[in-house]
A and B are shown apart, each in its own frame.
Chain A
Amino acid sequence: MRPPPGFTLLEVLLAFLVLTVGLLGLAGTLGPAARLAGEGRIRGRIGLIAASRIDLIRAGLLAASPACSPPAAGSLRHAGGIVEQWAASVRDSLVIVEIVALPPRSPRMRPDTVVTRLRCP
């Protein structure tokens, strides 16, 4: 005896299950893309923070000249949760500046460190 033509309910359910899994997988790729975009934003902001800190220290050195006195170490929490820490020391008429930026709580992102040297004015 020939089987009846058409799909059974089980076949239809299986087809939809496969389709759903595929769509869910597609939607899942959006998450990492969004996370990477957010990380890029934080890294960019850290760059601006570090550049500004260096310029602020330069301005402070000019205000203190002719003495070459490095700024005291400090820490500042910025909008968005980025925490900036800086320290400076003098060696051979150069001010060595180290800036560490801690990203907002994100287990995947590690702190960024910038070390630069500024000439005493």
Chain B
Amino acid sequence: MSLSRRGSGLVELIASLSLTAVLAVLVGSLLKSSAGRLRDRSERMALEHTLRVAVAALRSGLESLGRDSSGGSDLGAIGSDRVVVRAARASGVACAVAPGAITARLGPGWWSALRQPVAGRDSLLVDAVDSAGRWVALALAAPPHPGVCPDGAPALVLPVAGAPDQSNGLGAGSPIRIFEDVELRLYSSSGAAWLGIRSLGTGEAIQPLSGPFAAGGIALGFVDRTGGVATSPGAVVSFRASLAAVTERAGGVGIARGTPAWRDNVTVAVTVRSPP
């Protein structure tokens, strides 16, 4: 018998290559469709994230509003796609109140802040001790500095501007809210619409908070106590917000090429803390 037969023959080679090709096409198409589905899910998750961030920002900014301070409504201005609100930046409890300065007790459970108060940018709302819901608005006149409470505990001294009689009713135990006026609005950038925020005190440029949204993708409605349309900030009891977000990948490349942009909508209602 001849020993010349070694390895595979040509027919076997062609058959195995053909099978390889068929299997590669099958597995490739399967993986491509799976990757496509996963990509679409990821985009929908990103879309959901955009909506959730926007809703959380609107809810946290709007539901804490009130109209129970000497400074009038916490809502400064309203529009179909913008609001100006007093945004909380810190909160605490006073341990001493004197004309020109309010001393806030420091420590866990006493003082909570997103950042240090800044003079010229932030203001204070301080509630009366004798009757709740009578918040006094005071401007922060100078940078805060460390101090001590009458009992020797560490504290933060907040220099305030305002007539001395504004301190009437305030004292040890008064709740303190530090706030700044901020604008939340829809703005256009790079061909897309974004929900942005900016501090009015600093005059800074608007910063993106969430997006992208469809053109005109945020519509705000304002409801008064009777359920009708509120025409002034001081009459707003409740907000209706409709948001339409889109994905960022329209006109993508590679595996994303040619796929349509997703769009998702959500409508939320927010009622303020202390309505007029």
Contacts and interface: CB of A to CB of B under 8 A. Distances in A.
Binding between chains A and B: yes
A12 interface: yes
Interface in B126-148: none
A38 interface: yes
Given A5-B7, A48-B268, A63-B226, A34 B37 contact: yes
A20 B52 contact: no
- Kindly state the interface size class of chain A when it binds its partner: 35 or more
B41 interface: yes
A6 B5 CA distance: 11
Interface string B262-273: 000111111100
Contacts of A34: 37-38, 41
B267 A52 contact: yes
Secondary structure dominating the interface of A: helix
Nearest to A28: B34
A59 B271 contact: yes
Given A4-B5, A33-B38, A52 B44 contact: no
A41 B238 CA distance: 26
A5 B271 contact: no
B163 interface: no
B152 to A, nearest CB: 39
Nearest to A63: B227
B89 interface: no
Contacts of B270: 52, 55
B168 interface: no
A7 B59 CA distance: 68
A41 B42 CA distance: 11
B15 A9 contact: yes
Nearest to B228: A63
Nearest to B40: A34
A30 interface: yes
Given A13-B19, A63-B225, A30 B38 contact: yes
Interface string B39-78: 0011011001000100100010001000000000000000
B237 interface: yes
A2 to B, nearest CB: 9
Contacts of A56: 238, 269, 271
A45 interface: yes
Contact of A44 (B20, B26, B30, B52): B52
A117 interface: no
Contacts of B192: none
Nearest to B59: A51
A27 B270 CA distance: 43
A6 B6 contact: yes
Contact of B48 (A33, A44, A51): A44
Interface string A4-33: 111111001100100110011001001101
Contacts of A67: none
Contacts of B216: none
B275 interface: yes
A52 B48 CA distance: 17
Most A C-beta atoms less than 10 A away, residue of B15, B16, B59, B265: B16
B23 A16 contact: yes
**8 closest cross-chain pairs (CB), A and B:** A6-B7, A59-B238, A55-B271, A52-B269, A58-B271, A34-B41, A30-B34, A55-B269
15 contacts: A5-B6, A6-B7, A8-B8, A20-B27, A30-B35, A40-B45, A41-B48, A45-B48, A48-B268, A51-B59, A52-B269, A55-B63, A55-B238, A58-B238, A79-B265
Interface of B: 1, 5-8, 12, 15-16, 19-20, 23, 26-27, 30-31, 34-35, 37-38, 41-42, 44-45, 48, 52, 55, 59, 63, 223, 225-227, 237-238, 265-271, 275
